[in-house]
């Protein structure tokens, strides 16, 4: 391929490389880097007689670069409990698992035993992530009442947790 032919096809080849990188799962910035690397490799191959289909080569090179980059990324944790490095993680013992389940059941029971309005306000705030204004409109009460109910529910749960922890010691 001549230099003039490469320059004429450069924009189209770069666009194909961007599309291939994005299709392989690269984010926008990474796709730009991959497209640039693809263009460098195609430039280096410009005199190779096998480069009869530069569009196909651009797509394949970009896809392979994107896949290689993904292989070298560390895996993302599935939840907050896995944020610590694997070398420091230990599996919980069966006793720890049982204690954790009992603690969760105990807390769920205490939340269910809250007065109905406090329970509703706490649920809407913590689970549904609603604002005080939204909760006030839904329940037909003042925003200050929502804040008071929420504070009472949290304070009651905190006191019960403290009592529960003191019993276990």
Residues 25 and 66 in one domain: yes
- Would you state the pLDDT for residue 25? 84
Residues 65 and 22 in one domain: yes
Residues 98 and 161 in one domain: yes
What residues of the chain score a pLDDT lower than 50? 81
Tens digits of per-residue pLDDT, 110-150? 988 999 899 999 989 888 888 999 999 988 999 999 999 99
What's the N-to-C CA distance of the chain in angstroms?
Answer: 79
Question: How many domains is the chain partitioned into structurally?
Answer: 2
- Would you state the pLDDT for residue 77? 57
Q: Cβ(112)–Cβ(122) under 8 Å?
A: no
- Would you state the pLDDT for residue 86? 52
C-alpha distances (whole Å) from 21 to each of 17, 33, 74, 140 are 6, 9, 19, 52
């Amino acid at each position: 391929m001549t230099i003039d032919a490469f320059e004429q096809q450069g924009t189209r080849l770069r666009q194909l490389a961007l599309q291939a990188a994005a299709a392989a799962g690269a984010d926008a910035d990474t796709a730009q880097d991959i497209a640039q690397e693809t263009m460098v490799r195609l430039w280096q191959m410009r005199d190779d007689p096998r480069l009869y289909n530069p569009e196909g080569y651009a797509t394949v090179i970009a896809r392979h670069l994107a896949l290689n980059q993904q292989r070298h990324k560390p895996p993302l944790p599935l939840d907050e409990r896995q944020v610590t490095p694997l070398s420091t993680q230990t599996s919980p013992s069966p006793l720890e698992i049982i204690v954790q389940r009992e603690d969760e059941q105990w807390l769920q029971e205490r939340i269910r035993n809250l007065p109905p309005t406090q329970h509703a306000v706490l649920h809407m705030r913590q689970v549904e992530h609603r604002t005080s204004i939204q909760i006030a409109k839904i329940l037909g009460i003042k925003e200050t009442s929502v804040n008071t109910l929420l504070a009472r529910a949290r304070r009651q749960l905190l006191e019960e947790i403290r009592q529960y922890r003191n019993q276990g010691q």
